[in-house]
Chains A and B, each alone.
Chain A
Amino acid sequence: MPITRRQFLKICAGTGIAIGASETLLPEIVSALEKAAAGNPPVLWIQGGSCTGCSVSLLNTAHPTIAEVLLKIISLKYHQTVMAASGQKAYDYLWETAAKNYGKYFLAVEGTIETAYGGICCLTGEKGGKEVPFTELTKYLGKGAAAVLALGQCGSFGGIPAAKPNPSGSKGVMDFFKDEGIKTPVINIPGCPPHPDWMVGTIAHALMFGIPELDSNGRPKLFFGTLVHDNCPYRSYYDEKKFAKSFGEEGCRVELGCKGPESFSDCWKRGWNNNVNWCIHNSLCLGCTEPGWPDNFSPFYVKTTG
Chain B
Amino acid sequence: MTKLSISPITRIEGHLKIDVDIEGGKVVDAKSTGTMFRGFEIIMKGRDPRDASQIVQRICGVCPTAHGTAAVRCLDNAFGLKPPTNGRIIRNLIFGSDYLMSHILHFYHLAALDYVKGPDTEPFIPRYEGDYRLDPKTNKVAVEQYIKALDIRQKCHQMVALFGGRTPHVYGMVVGGATEIPTVDKMVSLQWRLREIKEFIDGTYLPTVYLVAGAYKDLFGVGTGCKNLLSFGVFPLDDDEKTFLLKPGSYTQGKDLPLDKAQIKEYVKYSYYQDKTTGLHPSKGMTEPEFDKKGAYSWIKAPRYRDLPHEGGPMARMWITNPVLSKHANKFLGIDEKKEIRFRDLGDKAFSILGRHAARAEECKLVADAMEKWILQLKPGAPSYVKVDIPKEAEGVGLTEAPRGALGHWISIKDQKVDNYQVVAATIWNASPRDDKGVPGPLEQALIGAPVKDIKNPFNVVRIVRSFDP
Instruction: Show the binding face of B for A, using Cβ within 8 Å.
Output: 5-15, 17, 35-40, 42-43, 46-48, 50-51, 54-55, 58-62, 64, 105, 109-110, 113, 118, 121-128, 147, 150-151, 153-154, 157-158, 160-169, 171-172, 174, 176-181, 189, 289, 291-292, 299, 383-385, 387, 462
Q: A86, B123: Cβ atoms under 8 Å?
A: no
CB of A122 within 8 A of chain B? yes
Q: A49-B38, A120-B291, A283-B171 are in contact. List 11 more A-B contacts (CB 8 A).
A: A57-B168, A70-B123, A82-B11, A88-B7, A161-B43, A168-B39, A247-B177, A247-B178, A272-B166, A282-B179, A300-B51
Q: A163, B43: Cβ atoms under 8 Å?
A: yes
* A167-B39 contact in complex given A77-B122, A247-B384, C-beta closer than 8 Å: yes
Cα–Cα, bound, A70→B123 (Å)? 8
Q: A123, B50: Cβ atoms under 8 Å?
A: no
CB of A160 within 8 A of chain B? yes
Residue ID in chain B nearest A249 by CB atoms: B181
Contact of A59 among B43, B153, B384 (CB under 8 A): B153
Cα–Cα, bound, A278→B35 (Å)? 34
Q: A273, B147: Cβ atoms under 8 Å?
A: no
**5 sampled A-B residue pairs with Cβ under 8 A:** A77-B122, A83-B10, A87-B6, A274-B158, A283-B174
Q: A90, B154: Cβ atoms under 8 Å?
A: no
Cα–Cα, bound, A81→B121 (Å)? 16
Cα–Cα, bound, A114→B289 (Å)? 14
Binary contact track A238-277/B, C-beta < 8 Å → 1, others 0: 0000000011100000000000000000000000111011
Q: What residues of chain A lie closer than 8 Å to B167, measured between beta carbons?
A: 272-273
Q: A86, B10: Cβ atoms under 8 Å?
A: yes
Contact of A121 among B36, B61, B178, B189 (CB under 8 A): B36
Q: A276, B158: Cβ atoms under 8 Å?
A: yes
Q: A62, B154: Cβ atoms under 8 Å?
A: yes
Residue ID in chain B nearest A245 by CB atoms: B387
Q: What residues of chain B lie closer than 8 Å to A220, measured between beta carbons?
A: none
CB of A286 within 8 A of chain B? yes
CB of A4 within 8 A of chain B? no
Most buried by A among B14, B46, B171: B171
Residue ID in chain B nearest A196 by CB atoms: B154
* A122-B15 contact in complex given A83-B122, A277-B162, C-beta closer than 8 Å: yes
Q: What residues of chain A lie closer than 8 Å to B176, measured between beta carbons?
A: 247
Q: Which chain A residues numbered 49 to 85 have a C-beta less than 8 Å away from chain B?
A: 49-57, 59-60, 62, 65-67, 70-71, 75-85
Most buried by B among A51, A166, A279, A286: A51
Q: A282, B164: Cβ atoms under 8 Å?
A: yes
Residue ID in chain B nearest A43 by CB atoms: B122
Q: What residues of chain B lie closer than 8 Å to A88, measured between beta carbons?
A: 5-7
Q: What residues of chain A lie closer than 8 Å to B12, measured between beta carbons?
A: 81
Chain B facing A: main interface SS: loop
Q: B171, A286: Cβ atoms under 8 Å?
A: yes
* A52-B61 contact in complex given A170-B38, A282-B166, C-beta closer than 8 Å: yes
Q: A79, B123: Cβ atoms under 8 Å?
A: yes
* A81-B10 contact in complex given A168-B37, A301-B51, C-beta closer than 8 Å: yes
Distance between B25 CB and nearest chain A CB, rounded to angstroms? 19
* A160-B58 contact in complex given A84-B127, A276-B162, C-beta closer than 8 Å: yes
Contact of B150 among A67, A75, A89, A282 (CB under 8 A): A67
CB of A38 within 8 A of chain B? no
Q: B15, A281: Cβ atoms under 8 Å?
A: no
Q: What residues of chain B lie closer than 8 Å to A52, measured between beta carbons?
A: 13-14, 60-62
Cα–Cα, bound, A294→B51 (Å)? 10
Contact of A298 among B38, B48, B166 (CB under 8 A): B48
Q: A277, B165: Cβ atoms under 8 Å?
A: yes
Q: A247, B462: Cβ atoms under 8 Å?
A: no
Most buried by B among A85, A91, A274, A302: A85
* A273-B166 contact in complex given A83-B10, A247-B384, A283-B179, C-beta closer than 8 Å: yes
Instruction: Show the binding face of A for B, using Cβ within 8 Å.
Output: 47, 49-57, 59-60, 62, 65-67, 70-71, 75-91, 93, 112, 114, 116-117, 120-126, 131, 159-161, 163-168, 170, 192-193, 246-248, 272-274, 276-279, 281-284, 286, 294, 298-302
Q: What residues of chain A lie closer than 8 Å to B179, measured between beta carbons?
A: 247-248, 282-283
Q: What residues of chain B lie closer than 8 Å to A55, measured between beta carbons?
A: 61
Most buried by B among A67, A88, A121, A124: A121
Q: A299, B51: Cβ atoms under 8 Å?
A: yes
Q: B384, A248: Cβ atoms under 8 Å?
A: yes
Q: What residues of chain A lie closer than 8 Å to B38, measured between beta carbons?
A: 49, 112, 114, 161, 167-168, 170
Most buried by A among B9, B47, B169: B169
Q: B8, A124: Cβ atoms under 8 Å?
A: yes
Cα–Cα, bound, A170→B43 (Å)? 12
Residue ID in chain A nearest B177 by CB atoms: A247
Q: A82, B162: Cβ atoms under 8 Å?
A: no
Q: A86, B462: Cβ atoms under 8 Å?
A: yes
Q: What residues of chain A lie closer than 8 Å to B157, measured between beta carbons?
A: 60, 273
Contact of B128 among A85, A161, A274, A286 (CB under 8 A): A85
Contact of A193 among B128, B168, B174 (CB under 8 A): B168
Distance between B442 CB and nearest chain A CB, rounded to angstroms? 20
Cα–Cα, bound, A59→B12 (Å)? 15
Contact of A273 among B42, B151, B161 (CB under 8 A): B161
* A56-B61 contact in complex given A76-B122, A168-B37, A298-B48, C-beta closer than 8 Å: yes
* A89-B291 contact in complex given A125-B7, A277-B162, A299-B51, C-beta closer than 8 Å: no
Contact of A122 among B17, B35, B42, B43 (CB under 8 A): B35
Q: A192, B58: Cβ atoms under 8 Å?
A: yes
Most buried by B among A65, A83, A93: A83
Residue ID in chain A nearest B387 by CB atoms: A246
Q: B121, A71: Cβ atoms under 8 Å?
A: yes
Most buried by B among A53, A66, A67: A53
Q: What residues of chain B lie closer than 8 Å to A89, measured between beta carbons?
A: 126-128
Q: B59, A51: Cβ atoms under 8 Å?
A: yes
Q: What residues of chain B lie closer than 8 Å to A85, measured between beta carbons?
A: 10, 125-128
Q: What residues of chain B lie closer than 8 Å to A66, measured between beta carbons?
A: 150, 154
Distance between B196 CB and nearest chain A CB, rounded to angstroms? 13
Cα–Cα, bound, A87→B174 (Å)? 39
Distance between B75 CB and nearest chain A CB, rounded to angstroms? 11
* A283-B123 contact in complex given A59-B150, A246-B385, A299-B48, C-beta closer than 8 Å: no
Most buried by A among B10, B64, B172: B10
